[in-house]
Amino acid sequence: MWIDHEITSSVFSRRIFSLLRKKSISDENKGHQANVDKNVLLRDTQKSSLDYVLTTVDSVVNWARQGSIWPMTFGLACCAVEMMHASAPRYDQDRLGVIFRASPRQSDVMIVAGTLTNKMVVVLRKVYLLIV
């Protein structure tokens, strides 16, 4: 089996290469040399992977609301200010269900914004264990 990582991923190309692969496998099973040129490079693909997903924006927004995360802020430096701006009305994460929580027991994810020093590791570990 030949693999090429430069082949662009598309439904059409996967269909062509899967047909070539089936043909070469069936030829090898018959004991004949495969008629496919060895310069033709095939690509291994997972059967569960998708190239394109057709949906609407409303479906994506509803999906994001269902699996909404509640992050806990752990701001250590100026990066925390940028995280606050991301939750401001301009980007409006609340409509997607992302609500920042101050308590680790109410949050799903901890966002560590800033430089983590050796002195803060102990505190960070204690807070993280409260999330889990």
pLDDT at residue 69, as a whole number: 80
Does the pTM exceed 0.85?
no
CA atoms of 88 and 84, how far apart (whole Å): 6
| Contact (Cβ atoms closer than 8 angstroms) between residue 66 and residue 98 | no
Q: Per-residue confidence at 122, pLDDT binned at 50, 70, 90?
A: very high
Domain ranges of the chain: 1-54, 65-131
| Contact (Cβ atoms closer than 8 angstroms) between residue 114 and residue 79 | yes
Q: Is the pLDDT of residue 17 over 60?
A: no
Q: Per-residue confidence at 75, pLDDT binned at 50, 70, 90?
A: confident
Backbone Cα Rg of the chain:
25
pLDDT at residue 63, as a whole number: 72
Q: Which CATH architecture has domain 65-131?
A: 3-Layer(aba) Sandwich (3.40)
Tell me how many degrees the CA angle 93-103-75 measures, rounded to the nearest 5: 65
pLDDT at residue 21, as a whole number: 58
Q: Is the pLDDT of residue 32 over 70?
A: no
Mean pLDDT taken over the chain: 70
Give the mean pLDDT of 81-88.
Answer: 83
Q: Is the pLDDT of residue 71 over 80?
A: yes
| Contact (Cβ atoms closer than 8 angstroms) between residue 44 and residue 1 | yes
The H or E element that residue 23 is part of is helix 11-29
